[in-house]
Amino acid sequence: MGGPGCGKGTQCKNMATKYGFCHVGLGQLLRQEAQRGTRRGRQIRDIMLQGLLVPTVGRAPNMVIVFDCSMETMVQRVLHRGQLEHRADDCEAAVRQRLDTHYSLCQPILTFYQQKNLLRSILAEEAPENIFAKCCSVIESLQ
């Protein structure tokens, strides 16, 4: 878990490669659906452009990693990504709204997982390879 631009996509891909996990990039799937032009796609696009969270379904995790990163770092990373990948939902207004939504909606979830002792926090301000080393330590501590 983590706000937009915290590095979760990058680190999830790295963990999938190293440990054979299945990485499902929910944001990528939602963006693909949003481009299809269907009624559901238009709804998803509108929600994403407003910087809100699209409702999802999942199962209970064995562990939750939260990537802790400052708001300004996440904004700068997402704006840079938006320039590289030409993503409409990576404009500054939408990013700041997504961060506000993330903080307000995700805090109760983080508290819930922390109370269940499933939450592992990783400071995600460093270089990607340093963050990945921390991810590996967390995963390998479970074995």
Which pTM does this prediction carry?
0.75
Q: Which residues sit opposite 65 in a β-bridge?
A: 120
The predicted structure's pLDDT at residue 58: 60
Sign of the Cα torsion 71, 138, 16, 63 reads negative
At 28-43, the pLDDT tens digits run: 788 888 888 899 899 9
The region that residue 38 occupies, defined by phi over 0 for left and psi between -120 and 50 for alpha, beta otherwise, is: beta
Work out the number of other CB atoms within 10 angstroms of the CB of residue 64. Answer: 16
CATH number for domain 8-21+58-140, candidates 3.20.20.70, 3.20.20.60, 3.90.190.20, 3.40.50.300: 3.40.50.300
